[in-house]
Amino acid sequence: MSNTSYNPYEIAQQQFDSVASKLDLDAATCELLRQPMREYHFTIPVKMDDGSTKIFKGFRVQHNDARGPAKGGIRFHPMETVDTIRALSLWMTWKCSVVDIPLGGAKGGVICDPRNLTEREQERLCRGYVRQLAKNVGPNSDVPAPDVMTNAKHMLWMLDEYETIHGSRYPGFITGKPVGMGGSLGRTEATGFGVIYVLNEALKNLNIPIENTTASFQGFGNVSQYAVRLYQQLGGKVVAISCWNETDKKAYTFRKLDGMDINALVSITDSYGTIDKEKAMGLGYEVLPGDAWIEQDVDILIPAAMENQITIENVNKISKQVKVITEAANGPTTPDADKVIADRNIFLIPDFLANAGGVTCSYFEQVQSNQNYYWEKDEVLEKLNTKMTSAFKSVYELSQSKGLRMREAAYVIAINRVAQAVKSRGWI
């Protein structure tokens, strides 16, 4: 873990500035796009089960809605900061733009640890969050979704509160809902599958058969679990997975050089993505330090946890065998580490392209909810694959024709689309 302090919002702005300077954007457009248009900061009083009242701090940041309603998850995390939320709102705008769906970017969060809250306390927190924002979000303005440590149950509580306040049905207000209550089939798999859809497309262009590759993952939450599943179905071999252990307050890397059994691992993993260390050792897994995932002699690294995980302090530990890094997490690579990766000519698929499967399927859910008509799972995943591979091809072709890195090419496409929408609306 890095000892260097990185501010994700400053990183997001730095990434924007480095590309905007090459796009000949006017100063006003740059100033508008490099920061959020709106921010809401609020407190949420929650009656706890023991009769006491606890005050939680919440945020909702809307970066830009020129291309459509703002879209973005709500995360519950004890270390949440408004700068992280700001950064994620920017990345959501570019994410929706690069896959060309008619949505803008937003993000929300509450500083809390749901692992230390009962189910009823979590429900009261969810309902309190919506009460503070009910006038500022909605199916035609800002559509939330699950994120870190939130799930379908939380989304349904939020939807119920929103509908209670407004006195009608608004299934398109929020996505990531349970299937059968307005949720879309395929949404659970969407982000993880999307990561592998673009990875597979990249390997084809690099002339690397996926069945000949090995991979190491950081994180074992929903995204990583489904990415591992599809990667293995396509013939790849996973040899290492790192995840956080809340009991020990540290991360561990679990390694099995002859390949991992995803079903066995999931069976000993809790709802927050923590693999049971003792049971894993009983199944023959090596237990290594948390950062060991990045040092493995594999072809592919997939950071699928939190931001700022590949830094200047550990980037040089990446094995010479690594050919591809696929950023399944948001902002996992710091700019200084990014330069080292570029110098080593490692092919990097940037986060807001690689993990756009989640918001793409959220968009599909939004469309279905608003139409009150639902698609079959195969149809959802087929549409998702089409969207993700099409976006990858556009970014890859631009990177090749203009001599740009994939991150730069993705930003060029995304920023240009948003800038054009801003200008077309007459905002600038």
Classify residue 277 by burial, with Cβ atoms within 10 Å: 0-12, 13-18, 19+: middle
Order across the sheet with 347-349: list the strands: 286-289, 250-255, 237-245, 214-218, 300-303, 324-326, 347-349
Reading the block at residue 389, the tokens are 């591979």
What's 184's DSSP letter? P
Biggest distance spanned by C-alpha atoms of the chain: 63
Catalytic residue list contains 107 = yes
Distance CA(75)–CA(147), nearest Å, equals: 5
Helices (H) and strands (E) in the chain, counts: 14, 12
Using CA atoms, how far apart are residues 189 and 95, in angstroms rounded to an integer? 18
Distance CA 124, CA 398 (A): 48
Strand 250-255, strand 104-111: pairing: unpaired
Asked whether the beta carbons of 360 and 386 are under 8 A apart, the reply is: no
> At 98, phi and psi to the nearest 5?
-65, -30
Question: DSSP code of 81?
Answer: -
Q: How many CB atoms lie within 10 A of CB 190?
A: 29
Active-site residue, selected from the candidate residues 71, 95, 107, 177? 107
What positions carry a catalytic annotation?
107
